[in-house]
């Protein structure tokens, strides 16, 4: 059965389940095409296998990850992502907003850490960048801007994963954020 393209999370409780740093490490790997056992996930996240099993079951409860087919030796069942990508979409309630903010903080800290941990002599440093812009857009233009950014990311993803990419390819982290600031204009 083909994996669905996107898993959209709207429930604030599910979003809150994503906010734990250890869970995000595992989610990143699983949504990048890996299939991992609880022990492998624990090693990645720096937890014990029993602690990681707790986190994996919590993610499974919300449909964020799922069990894969049994491993060759049958002792430990691996985990996988149910979709190619994960989309967080919940700002309509105060609980949804708080959950999204918790997830955002963890994600932003992880990306900042990647900038800090990059070696000064890394030959790919020239493609490392961060940009912040202020744009004055109408609501319709902001929607279009957001869709085009996401479309650009999808175009470069090309269904590539950790186990399926061309030689010479390197994993690149991107973070796309579109945030309206200030008060909304009258009549919107």
Per-residue pLDDT reduced to its tens digit, 56-108: 999 999 999 999 986 566 667 899 999 988 877 766 667 667 767 777 777 78
Structure tokens at 84: 């190619």
Taking residues 19-31, report their average pLDDT. Answer: 87
Beta carbons of 19 and 99 less than 8 angstroms apart: yes
C-beta pairs of 135-143 under 8 Å, 24+ apart in sequence: 139/188, 142/178, 142/180
pLDDT at 92: 60
Model confidence at 165, pLDDT cuts 50, 70, 90, reads: confident
Report the predicted TM-score, pTM, of the whole model to 2 decimal places.
0.66
The 3-state DSSP class for residue 148 equals helix
């Amino acid at each position: 059965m083909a994996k669905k393209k996107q898993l959209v999370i709207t429930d604030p409780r599910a979003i809150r389940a994503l906010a734990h740093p250890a869970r995000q490490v595992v989610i990143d790997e699983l949504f990048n095409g890996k299939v991992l056992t609880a022990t492998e996930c624990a090693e990645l996240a720096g937890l014990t296998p029993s602690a990681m099993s707790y986190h994996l079951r919590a993610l499974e409860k919300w449909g964020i990850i799922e069990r894969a087919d049994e491993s060759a030796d049958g002792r430990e069942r691996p985990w996988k992502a149910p979709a190619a990508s994960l989309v967080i979409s919940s700002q309509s309630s105060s609980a949804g907003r708080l959950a999204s903010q918790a997830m955002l903080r963890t994600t932003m800290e992880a990306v900042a850490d990647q900038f800090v941990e990059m070696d000064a002599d890394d030959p790919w440093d020239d493609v490392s960048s961060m940009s912040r812009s202020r744009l004055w857009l109408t609501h319709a233009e902001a929607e279009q801007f957001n869709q085009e950014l996401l479309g650009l990311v999808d175009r470069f993803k090309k269904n590539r994963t950790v186990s399926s990419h061309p030689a010479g390819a390197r994993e690149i982290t991107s973070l796309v954020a579109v945030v309206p600031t200030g008060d909304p204009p009258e009549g919107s």
